Amino acid sequence: ATVLTQAIAREGMKNVTAGANPVGIRRGIEKATKAAVAGLHKMSHDVKTKDDIAQIASISAANPEVGKLIADAMEKVGHDGVITIEDSRGVETSVDVVEGMSFDRGYMSQYMVTDNDKMEADLDNPYILITDKKISNIQDILPLLQSVVQQGRALLIIADDITGEALPTLVLNKIRGTFNVCSV
């Protein structure tokens, strides 16, 4: 896809430089894209069996062992699951299944861990607050926090950032045992 995009951009610029109408070129690219996508849809077929998945994954990875492991992982997580492949320092290839959600970034404070040995924050059936805003004033989320305390459940906060007095207040309440909270 990257090579194709680069070629389209290069040829488009070459034609514009030669005096072609840029709007016409864009329309042509859009029309060709629709035709290519339609053609790919006609050629495609659903992958239904574990063997089909193993075959496709083996070709993509250029490794039959990895293909089989990916098929095994797909069987465990389902078609809507997420599979992450990482290089290992060891010689063994393995599959680890993680239940629930996993985040690429960590908690905002080390005091939010629930397992000090693993340095993990493990929350069972938490309320989840997702916002693209920065939380700097604890008053902004106080009604939610009061509800969490009343329900006796944990709270996971996924926010752009938690600054000001909000983060220390959350940490203090976690340490005191008022409620279990983790923010990422």
Which pLDDT score, from 0 to 100, does residue 121 have? Answer: 84
144, two tokens: 């939610």
Q: Which residues contact 66 (CB under 8 A, 6 or more apart)?
A: 57, 58, 85, 93
Angle subtended at Cα 110 by Cα 98 and Cα 160, rounded to the nearest 5 degrees: 75
Out of 53-57, 84-88, 157-161, least confident range? 84-88
**pTM of the complete model beyond 0.85:** no
Q: At residue 135, does pLDDT exceed 80? A: yes
Which pLDDT score, from 0 to 100, does residue 44 have? Answer: 92
What is the separation of C-alpha 60 from the centre of its chain, rounded to a whole number of angstroms? Answer: 21
CA dihedral 170, 176, 180, 183 (to 10 degrees): 30
pLDDT, the chain, mean: 89
Percent over 70 (pLDDT), the chain: 97
Split at pLDDT 50, 70, 90, the class of 107 is: confident
CATH code assigned to 110-183: 3.50.7.10
Q: How far is CA 153 from CA 101, 124, 148, 150, 181, in A?
A: 17, 8, 6, 8, 9
Phi and psi, residue 80, nearest 5°: -95, 0
Question: Which residue, among 72, 126, 119, has the nearest Cα to 100 in the 3D structure?
Answer: 126
